[in-house]
Amino acid sequence: MSSVKLNKKDLLEKLQAKLTLKIGKKISQQEILDKCIEFAFNRFEEFLFEKMENPQISDKLIKKIKENLIDAPLQHLEKSDDELLYGM
């Protein structure tokens, strides 16, 4: 079983309370999260366009990154990317 850190734990608890009042039965937070994940998966396109807190990259930063690109030859042509990155 894995552990997930929640930034919106208070909202999960409020949702749990609202659901309990609405249906008259307490639902576990795990069940709520499972259903939310299933809901998002089944409505992926809608979920994709939901406002996410992703930092926006400015045109100025994109230009700066492009200006700092270099085209350098690989030093180890005999090694794969995985070998170079992970020492495999």
Residues 76/84, Cβ–Cβ less than 8 Å: yes
Does residue 49 lie in a domain region? yes
| Confidence grade of residue 54 (pLDDT, cut at 50, 70, 90) | low
Does residue 53 lie in a domain region? yes
Does residue 1 lie in a domain region? no
Does residue 2 lie in a domain region? no
Statement: the pTM of the whole predicted model exceeds 0.85:
no
Q: How many structural domains does the chain have? A: 1
With CA atoms as reference, report the closest residue to 15 among 3, 33, 39.
33
Q: Output the pLDDT for position 5.
A: 86
Does residue 3 lie in a domain region? no
| Confidence grade of residue 69 (pLDDT, cut at 50, 70, 90) | confident
Does residue 81 lie in a domain region? yes
Residue 33, both tokens = 């999260």
Contacts of 33 (CB under 8 A, 6+ apart): 12
Does residue 46 lie in a domain region? yes
Containing structural domain, residue 48: 9-86
Give 43-52 pLDDT, tens digit per residue.
Answer: 998 888 887 7
Q: Output the pLDDT for position 50.
A: 81
